[in-house]
Structure 1
């Protein structure tokens, strides 16, 4: 099974990639299944969030056209902050998704990539606050499938990688909660194009997740452009085997489906 479970098209504000073109690219690469996960980030880019109605309409059209060539799943990426949870709950209740990524792209409406969130904080403060926001969020919101790019703060940490041991306790608490509630985590292959030295999340986090009993894992390219569709997914599958994992997941109607690696 070759599946890409984190993909963006022109229905996300940071991509101009047509859904149909993305499907054709995936087919050309021999990918069996893809899940579109368009951006919704309440509190930050309200006017730029995914147009659900247009998105779902185009998804259904493409699914009918390409149903004999590839499996398509309808997903969404919620960029959740604690104070926006009620808005995301309304969205989830209104639409039927196969898969929902719980991501943290900003805290207190301050984004990481602009350094607004990190400004005025020590490395310890912004790292701890990032994970605290995720922990508080998953304790209040349960309608998601996996945590997206769990340690993505590393991408934007100009001070370098914060020692894992210093955030291990809170990451353990996050993963313990995730596992207890039947949720999973994703491996996001954008780590390669960001030039990171480790996977996202790190191998330390992946080992910890497994030690705690975690089994639900998806792999996604986080593609916004043609060249990133399916990027290094086969490589990551091999890395998972090395770490002792036996299966990965796809989803249908918010339920995990396990596939042997």
Structure 2
């Protein structure tokens, strides 16, 4: 079973890749299942969020057209902050998702990739505040499947990599909460595209997650264009095996389905 569980199309503000073309590419690569996870980020990009009606209309059309060639699941990626939980909850309650990625793309309505969030803070302050926001959100919000690219702040840390030991305790707290609530984490293969020297999340976090009893894990390319689809998913599967994992997950109606690696 080959599955890509983090995919964006022209229904996300940072992609112009048509959904049908992405499906064709996935089929050509031999993927068995994909899940679209369009962006919804209230607070900063509210006016640029996914148009649900058009997204779901095109999803249904494509799902029917390609039903004999590939399984296609309906997902969403909530870039959530504490003060946007209510808006995301309303969306979740309204639509019938198979899968929800809960990500942290901004804190205090300040973007990471623009350095707005990091500006005026020490490396310690912005790293700790990033994880603290995730913990606050998951203590208040439960309707998600996995945490997306858990240590993503590393992508945008211009100072260099912050020592994991300094945030380990809060990461453990996050992982324990995830496990206790039968949620999971994803491996995001964009780490290879960003030139990071580790997986996302790191192997150290993945080891911790398994040691703490975590077993719900998805693999996604975070694709935004043709060359991203399915990128290095097979390599990540092998890395998971090395780390002691036996299975990975797909989802249907918010329920994990386990598959052998």
**Shorter-chain TM-score: what band?**
over 0.9
CA distance in 2, matches of 1:227, 1:260: 26
Unaligned runs of 5+ in 1: none
Task: Report the alpha carbon displacement of residue 114 of structure 1 after superposing the two structures with TM.
Answer: 0.1
| DSSP-derived class of the 1:55 partner | helix
Please give the secondary structure, in 2, of the residue aligned with 1:117: coil
2:255 counterpart residue number? 255
In structure 1, distance between residues paired with 2:30 and 2:72: 14
**In the alignment, which residue of structure 1 is the partner of 2:88?**
88
Q: Structure 2 length normalisation: TM-score?
A: 1.00
Structure 1 residues 33-87: Cα deviation after superposition (integer angstroms, max 9, x where no partner): 0000000000011110000000000000000000000000000000000000000
CA distance in 1, matches of 2:143, 2:160: 33
CA deviation after TM superposition for structure 1 residue 94, in Å: 0.4
CA displacement at 1:233 relative to structure 2: 0.1
Aligned residue number for residue 7 of structure 1: 7
Matches within 5 A, 1:94-173: 94-173=94-173
Q: CA deviation at 1:164?
A: 0.6
Question: 1: distance between equivalents of 2:45 and 2:114?
Answer: 14
Equivalences for residues 53-64 of structure 1 within 5 A: 53-64=53-64
RMSD of aligned Cα (Å): 0.3
In the superposition, the TM-score normalised over structure 1's length comes to 1.00
* Distance (whole Å) between structure 2 residues aligned to residue 60 and residue 91 of structure 1: 18
Q: Specify every segment of 5 or more residues in structure 2 that has no aligned partner in the other structure, as ranges.
A: none
Q: Which residue of 2 aligns with 1:237?
A: 237
Cα distance in 1 for partners of 2:190, 2:244 equals: 22
Q: What is the CA-CA distance between 1:132 and the residue it aligns to?
A: 0.1
Query: Counterparts of 1:45 and 1:169 in 2: how far apart (Å)?
Result: 31
Runs of 4+ in 1 over 6 A off after TM superposition: none
Distance 1:46 1:30 in 2: 35
Distance 2:77 2:36 in 1: 9
